[in-house]
A and B are shown apart, each in its own frame.
Chain A
Amino acid sequence: MLSTVQTPPRLLRSPSAAASTLRCIYTVPCCGPSRSPNSQILTARKSLLSRETSAVDLAKSFCERLRRTEPQIGSFLHVPPHETVLKQAEELDVKIKNGDRLGPLAGVLVGVKDNICTSDMPSTAGSKILENYRPPFDATAVSKLKRNGALIIGKTNLDEFGMGSSTEASAYQVTANPWDLSRVPGGSSGGSAAAVSARQCMVALGSDTGGSVRQPASFCGVVGLKPTYGRVSRYGLVAYASSLDVIGCLSSSVADAGILLAAISGHDKFDATSSRREVPDFESHFVSKDGFESKPLRGVRVGIIRETLGDGVDSEVVSAVHGAISHLEELGSILSEISLPSFSLGLPAYYVLASSEASSNLSRYDGVRYGSQSSGDDINTLYENSRGRGFGSEVKRRILMGTYALSAGYYDAYYKRAQQVRTLILDGLKDALERNDILVSPAAPSVAYRIGEKKDDPLAMYAGDIMTVNVNLAGLPALVLPCGFSVGRLPVGFQMIGSPFDEEKLLKIGHIFEQTFEGGECFVPPIL
């Protein structure tokens, strides 16, 4: 297969930016030192331990970049005063000086999607109904971040309650794609993807119910990792669709995604759906490419999903993904084309199931116990006013759809039917994964579109989820890596789907791909 991927020209930098880049090469990694793999976390760790840099300096550089770029991008809904982060960094520097044991995320600046509860910062889920809401507890994933030494730089923007694919449905602000400020960053984890892309933080947590980590990763040219359902605790994730939601990772390298995943994974007694499976040592796979064999992916069976590379997919996306596929072949993998006849059924099944569960999960937002309340003379009026004013139109649309699909007389035709379709899709994917190590597809049918372009066309917006929803329906893990650009210099990502709880294989393959793809090309947007 011929590769038609564009080779990106040298990145344009302003002189001052270039200087700061040279000084803080590990904070805006382009190509890292050749001995280590391309990983902000590993590079930072090395520099901190060798005292080459301090946690404070590291934090300062990110805070400064955030401050500088935020007016144009708007990734964050809440950024605590930088002093807070710097103070934590100071404490970390003391620990380093004392030779104390450090967590694997020590000094790592993390952005957290605003639908993940943080007790020391507001958590609005991008909605007015939770304006100024401060949870009384940290999500388990957040506790783990903190316990592992991470520094949370702020809460990122999202489509309200995770419902959307462009972040335009946030009740607060629109986030711009760092690659082209007139375009969407994708959604619903658009804020997290943009923040990582613009290097406002090293890594970020997002959530993925129908593709909300993977699609924005593709639009923003970053790595997006969706773990297996149950790998990461959902306790503290504001529920959208309980049987589909997962917390996922956004990063600038596969290694960083893996290290972050390891830190937040594991059984949680506060989440009955979390898995008791042991969390493998992902980090052991992130070796420098110098250590790779000549055909490091020899024998890896790659199944290309035929239905994802035909009609309805932008030709630029198709060609970029083909480029990725041929690179996989170069690395020694065995390609085959597979067909998933049930593929197109995923979208309607997803929207029925997700909306149904959402209509139930959002019933608690009534203005009585927390969040914003609009007064009323009687209880029904209070509910109507609070919910009417607090919810945006996309949320209302899905609540109504979900309520309808669950109502008497319709349950069998919609909800029950959708669950049956879900089983078909799951079986199809599982079957394909028995004959293949991974399955490959684009992460989205297009590159980032313009802000406002699909906002008034919900169905067109929904159609953009076609590549990602089946993975959620089946509960599988998936990894999205940038693999090329459109003519207009907009990133394209490709998706690798793995077997349940086999993130290890995805990360291993992803890391090898990334480290060898066009000489370790890094995707840094021109805004920097």
Chain B
Amino acid sequence: VLGNYEAVIGIETHVQLSTSTKAFCSCPYNYGAQPNTSICPVCMGMPGALPILNSKVIEYAVKVGLALNCKLSLSSKFDRKQYFYPDLPKGYQISQFDVPIASGGFLDVDLPVEFGGGHRKFGITRVHMEEDAGKLIHAASGNFSQVDLNRAGVPLLEIVSEPDMRTGIEAAEYAAELQRVVRYLGVSNGNMQEGSLRCDVNVSVRPLGQLEFGTKVEIKNLNSFSSVSRAIDFEISRQVLLHSQGEADQIVQETRLWEEGAQKTVTMRKKEGLADYRYFPEPDLPAVTLSDEYVGRIRDSLPELPETKRRRYESLGLGMQDVLFLANDMNVAAFFDETIATGADVKSAANWMMGDIAAYLKNEKLSINGIKLVPRELASLIAAIKTGTISGKIGKEILLELMSKGGTVEGMIEENDLVQIVDPVEIEKIVNRVLKENPKQLEQYRSGKTRLQGYFAGQAMKETRGKANPELLNKILLQRLT
């Protein structure tokens, strides 16, 4: 429990861009490829090799900068960030130091309903371009480590947030929203497990009302949004506890690792002040100049982003729960948009997608693009039920067929003779038949077991193979029983 303290959280996210080739050479990047099979003199840092900028990196950076409502730096540059480590072939990383390509933006986030909901606006300090390092694989024996340079030179965007989050949930949702944005833009897979989205968080606490920040602790090794949330909550408790025990000086500026198994943060290394990276402008690459026309073209090409979608769905009259479900996955949103575009009722479409369709996806472990149902047919289904052509129950059955085997609503209705029975005369005939065939139950009903109405209804449904309109059936049944 926080009590008299406030947590201050900031997040540094690295997004691996899904360009076809690396940032400064023409090597492709394929996650999981055999070590050192996608390398060349440039990304290996061989003598005499020079970097050549992949222009897609700029395009993707501008897309993200615009999507995060940033100011773009029309003239930026690359800088060398220097340090020695075996996964860094040149002994420096090409990055951006004092003039990032984008800065001063914000991200709109809607917190999940189950965590209290609410809208937040988190500041984005900066977005800059840099190259990834290779990977080190440490031998189990501890005697040696091996270097895989497949990943060296892959383009990254580093996105730094303002320290605006206050809880683990806020931080996790910020990260989830970033994932949504980069996927919507098509610039990254945004996959935490594969390393195409990496989050490091900074956590500090301060007494409520204090303006000064407390000592900042960095947490690494967060491999999912839920670990982001849990790690932060743990760290906040740890720090608050120390504060409340008068041991605030035990909180030191350091890097801690989140241990998923033990569900706690542990010291990794103490930060001995800031490292000196001896930044200076990269002489091998010319300045990056963006024209207004270039930026305008990219701005015009941006898809509708999650935030805009959420506001649009809200304006359609959907509740937050529905809005978040539908808007947060771009494929689901696309499916939904296409369904209602043909005139289908918004609420019905939402219910079907959040209910039967979502359940099916979960059971079959499919994504919305993996089912054979197409939006047009969902719209047809909704319309058929609305006009009374089929009953809701039949609709559910058809849906199952459409999802697993495909086909059209019209075709299925015809093929299987599924048209709903709405003629009162016909239903009366069926009711009479059912009552005649079940004299014993009729007796029991007459003697007080009124619940047997359901039994009769069920029998009638069985006979009509579900086609009887339920409301009409029950109305007529009740009439005949009384």
Contact = CB atoms under 8 A, between A and B. Distances in A.
A271 B280 contact: no
B90 interface: yes
Contact of A235 (B49, B278, B283): B49
B90 A368 contact: no
Interface stretch (A50-58, A237-245, A487-495): A237-245
A117 interface: yes
Interface stretch (B50-58, B162-170, B305-313): B50-58
Interface in A362-412: 363-364, 366, 368-370, 379, 383, 403, 406-408, 411
A150 interface: no
A136 interface: yes
A370 B50 CA distance: 17
Given A360-B92, A363-B84, A366-B84, A272 B284 contact: yes
B48 interface: yes
Interface string B277-288: 011100111100
Interface in A242-259: 242-243
A292 interface: no
A73 to B, nearest CB: 26
Interface in A394-434: 403, 406-408, 411, 415
Interface in B227-283: 274, 276, 278-280, 283
Would you call the interface of chain A mostly helix, strand, loop, or mixed? Answer: loop
Contacts of B86: 366, 368, 379
B41 A408 contact: no
B80 interface: yes
Interface in A434-453: none
A172 to B, nearest CB: 17
B91 A366 contact: yes
Contact of B48 (A139, A272, A403): A139
B147 to A, nearest CB: 7
Contact of B283 (A125, A133, A243, A379): A243
B214 interface: no
A137 to B, nearest CB: 6
B411 interface: no
A238 B47 contact: yes
Contacts of A369: 44-46, 89, 147
Contacts of A236: 48
A357 interface: yes
B92 A363 contact: yes
Interface string A182-198: 00000000000000000
A357 B278 CA distance: 11
A470 interface: no
A270 B47 contact: no
A295 to B, nearest CB: 43
Contacts of B441: none
A137 B39 CA distance: 13
Interface residues of B, number: 31
A234 B85 CA distance: 26
Contacts of B53: 272
Nearest to A269: B52
B196 interface: no
B53 to A, nearest CB: 7
Contact of B47 (A117, A242, A411): A117
A364 B48 contact: no
Nearest to A129: B47
Nearest to A402: B278
Nearest to A234: B50
A272 B280 contact: no
Contact of A364 (B85, B91, B279, B285): B91
B73 interface: no
Contacts of A411: 278-280
B144 to A, nearest CB: 10
Nearest to B82: A360
A401 B314 CA distance: 62
B348 to A, nearest CB: 57
Question: Which of B48, B80, B280, B286 has the most chain A CB atoms inside 10 A of its CB?
Answer: B48
A403 B284 contact: no
Interface string B75-103: 00000101011100111100000000000
Contacts of B280: 356-357, 360, 406, 411, 415
Given A357-B283, A407-B276, A235 B45 contact: no
B284 A408 contact: no
Interface residues of A, number: 40
B47 A235 contact: no
A130 interface: yes
Given A271-B50, A272-B51, A272-B53, A364 B82 contact: no
Nearest to A243: B283
A139 B51 CA distance: 14
Nearest to A139: B48
B50 A272 contact: yes
Interface in B178-200: none
A135 B47 CA distance: 8
Contacts of A408: 274, 276, 278
B91 A363 contact: yes
A273 interface: yes
A383 B285 CA distance: 28
Contact of B45 (A269, A273, A364): A364
A236 B46 CA distance: 9
B91 A137 contact: no
Contacts of B48: 116-117, 123, 135, 137, 139, 234-239
Contacts of B92: 360, 363
A270 B52 contact: yes
Contacts of A133: 47
A245 B80 CA distance: 18
Nearest to B53: A272
A56 B286 CA distance: 45
A139 B89 CA distance: 20
A369 B85 CA distance: 12
Nearest to B285: A272
A364 B90 contact: yes
Contacts of A364: 45-47, 89-91
Interface string A255-291: 0000000000000011111000000000000000000
A360 B89 contact: no
Interface in A302-339: none
Contact of A363 (B41, B82, B274, B285): B82
Contact of B91 (A116, A272, A360, A379): A360
B38 to A, nearest CB: 15
A269 B283 CA distance: 16
Interface string A90-132: 0000000000000000000000000011000001010000100
Contact of A272 (B46, B276, B286): B286
Interface in A138-170: 139
Contacts of A415: 280
A221 B209 CA distance: 78
A75 B274 CA distance: 48
Contact of A137 (B41, B85, B89, B284): B41
Contacts of A368: 86, 147
28 contacts: A116-B48, A117-B48, A125-B47, A130-B47, A135-B48, A136-B46, A137-B48, A234-B48, A235-B50, A239-B48, A242-B283, A271-B50, A272-B52, A272-B284, A357-B280, A357-B283, A360-B280, A364-B45, A364-B46, A364-B89, A364-B90, A366-B84, A368-B86, A369-B89, A379-B145, A406-B279, A408-B274, A411-B279
Interchain residue pairs A-B with the least CB separation, the first 5: A363-B91, A242-B283, A406-B278, A243-B283, A236-B48
Given A271-B52, A357-B280, 7 more contacts: A239-B50, A272-B52, A273-B284, A363-B90, A364-B46, A369-B89, A411-B279
Interface of B: 41, 44-53, 80, 82, 84-86, 89-92, 145, 147, 274, 276, 278-280, 283-286
Interface of A: 116-117, 123, 125, 130, 133, 135-137, 139, 234-239, 242-243, 269-273, 356-357, 360, 363-364, 366, 368-370, 379, 383, 403, 406-408, 411, 415
